[in-house]
Amino acid sequence: MVKENFFVKYIKYFNGILLIILSLTVFISVLTRYIFKIAIPELIIIQKFSLSWLVFLGAAEAVKESQHLTIDMFSEFLSVKNRYIKQIIIDIFLFIAIIIFFMAGGEAFLISFRRKELIPIRFIKHYVNLTYFNMPFFIAGILMIFFQISNFRKSILDYSKYLKFKKRKETI
């Protein structure tokens, strides 16, 4: 469990750095475009890169923290046992959605090997491969699968603890 928290801590740091980079490049882009009347197309590439990584690593982090999908509308009307069952069902549906996302991200990742970015970067001779922009789909999908399996395992363990506690309480 400590290693997971250590790993998630670095995802949060990386997201913070990406947010700073995104903010600075947008500020510089607006400043150069509207004040100096100069467009820097390389900043668009950096913005796309930062935004894609930020969004999808943030989504993986939300899955880790179990903040991605919840249904609280009827929870107060359910018994404790049914709340656990509801959470297990939500975990299953979210896992299926993550698998679909991972498959789509993997396909985008593989297709991007053949495609090139249309905006040339001045200090690089060749066009940038789109793999760098589609890699977050794939990597975040792997992280989400890992985190969701962990969440599902925790839901099952919580339910089994509840059943053991209820059984012990009934025998007393």
Residue with tokens 């959470």: 87
Number of domains observed in the structure of the chain: 1
Instruction: Return the percent helix, strand and coil in the chain, to nearest 5.
Output: 75, 0, 20
Task: Give residue 136's pLDDT.
Answer: 87
Q: Distance between CA 107 and CA 151 in Å, rounded?
A: 26
Q: Which amino acid is at 54?
A: L
Find the domain containing 59 and state its range. Answer: 2-171
Distances (CA, A) of 127 to 124, 132, 138, 156: 7, 12, 22, 49
pLDDT value at position 83? 85
Cα distances from 53 to residues 48, 59, 122, 129, 163, in angstroms, run 9, 10, 23, 16, 41
Burial environment of residue 53 by CB neighbours within 10 A (0 to 12, 13 to 18, 19 or more): buried
End-to-end Cα separation, the chain, in angstroms: 34
Give 10-residue mean pLDDT values along the chain (172 residues): 68 92 94 89 85 91 81 77 87 92 86 69 69 82 91 90 82 71
- Find, among 74, 93, 95, 96, the residue nearest to 83 by Cα: 74
> What is the model's pLDDT at position 117?
62
